Amino acid sequence: MSINYIHGGKNSIASIVQKVVEALRDLDQQMNLLPPSSKPSGLSTELIPDKSHWNQMIKNALHSISGDILKKIVLARKKVFTHPNIWNPAQIMLALSKIKENSFTFLYQPEDGIAFLGRSPERLFQIRDGRILAEAIAGTRPRGKNDFDDQRLEVELLTSAKEMNEHRFVSGYIEAIMHRYCLDVKTTSREEVLKLKNVQHIITRFTGNCGGGAHPLSIARAFHPTPAVGGYPQEKIFEHLRKSEPFDRGWYAAPVGWMNKNNADFAVGIRSALVHRNHLHIFAGAGIVRQSNAQSEWAETEKKMDNFTAILKER
């Protein structure tokens, strides 16, 4: 568990610790006093973009890829759930925390009624005692209905030229950044399967010794955005996304985590949502390569939103 505290330089360490303890105690009290959840009534849903607009976005992306302008484009969409009352981020966070999967749970609440939260499977990078750990996650299939079906989908994922192509844009990019900062880059696992509650991904992990010479922010700027959330090549992707996506991503897919002078741990802010008073914005993205089609990518983003949409169905 990590806690971020913005220190203005005027408070003593003891007073900072006391404030953090009080904030944790208050959060714990909020969690314990939450009313029993019930399915919200009067809920409306908006798709941004809608399906026809999404199909056109995919068509435009494939045109850019076929013209060799870009190799991979990650397009995002969102669902906006509007409630008659203000959403309670603590209640959503409590439900997310009960999901059993290997992922990073995060909550940023700058003010009442405003919060960015989620459950990300993807580590951007970690620095511990001069060593960097980074992960490449790309390529997706849903989980199976039973063990046999799950294994079938895993094999389908690992033997799909489209999914492997998408993954290798990401792993190749991250490996190149690792070599820029580290002397002894090692691949600790290559193209394995990471199983989450609703989906499974291809994952490759890297480690290397950076010797403590690079500041965490410099490393974050080098990694972000990876081809897993932006596209490839990085220097050409921003203009395309600004023209294509019908909303501002904000914190979606941004680095989320903590750092001090020498150490850091950042995840990628995916499988995430923005609470904005009575609006809940749920985000998901899909990597577009030559073999992509709009229907499959829409279905993939639906599965990626399931952690949140399942919570709404249960409430």
pLDDT of residue 261: 78
Distance CA 77, CA 178 (A): 30
Does residue 122 have an active-site annotation?
yes
pLDDT of residue 36: 53
Single pTM value for the model: 0.89
- 44's enclosing H/E stretch is strand 44-48
Q: Which two tokens stand for residue 40?
A: 């919200």
The low-confidence residues of the chain, meaning pLDDT below 50, are none
Q: Which of 256, 25, 32 is nearest to 122 (CA)?
A: 256
Q: Which two tokens stand for residue 164?
A: 């492997």
Distance CA 262, CA 74 (A): 31
Q: Convert the pLDDT of each residue in 131-142 to its tens digit.
A: 999 999 999 999
Is 44:238 a contact under the CB 8 Å cutoff?
no
Is 156:141 a contact under the CB 8 Å cutoff?
yes
Q: Which fold has domain 43-314?
A: Anthranilate synthase (3.60.120)
DSSP string, 211-246: TT-S-HHHHHHHHSSPTTTSEESHHHHHHHHHHH-S
Distance CA 113, CA 276 (A): 6
Catalytic annotation, pick one of 78, 122, 135, 300: 122
pLDDT of residue 211: 79
Q: Which residues pair with 311 in a beta bridge?
A: none
Is 248:279 a contact under the CB 8 Å cutoff?
no
Distance CA 57, CA 48 (A): 12
Stated length of the chain: 315
Helix runs in the chain, H state only: 13-32, 51-66, 89-97, 147-158, 161-181, 216-223, 234-244, 294-304, 306-314
- 76's enclosing H/E stretch is strand 72-82
CB atoms within 10 A of CB 49: 18
Distance CA 127, CA 122 (A): 15
Distance CA 54, CA 245 (A): 9
Interacting residues of 30 by C-beta distance below 8 A, sequence separation 6+? 90
Does residue 46 have an active-site annotation?
no
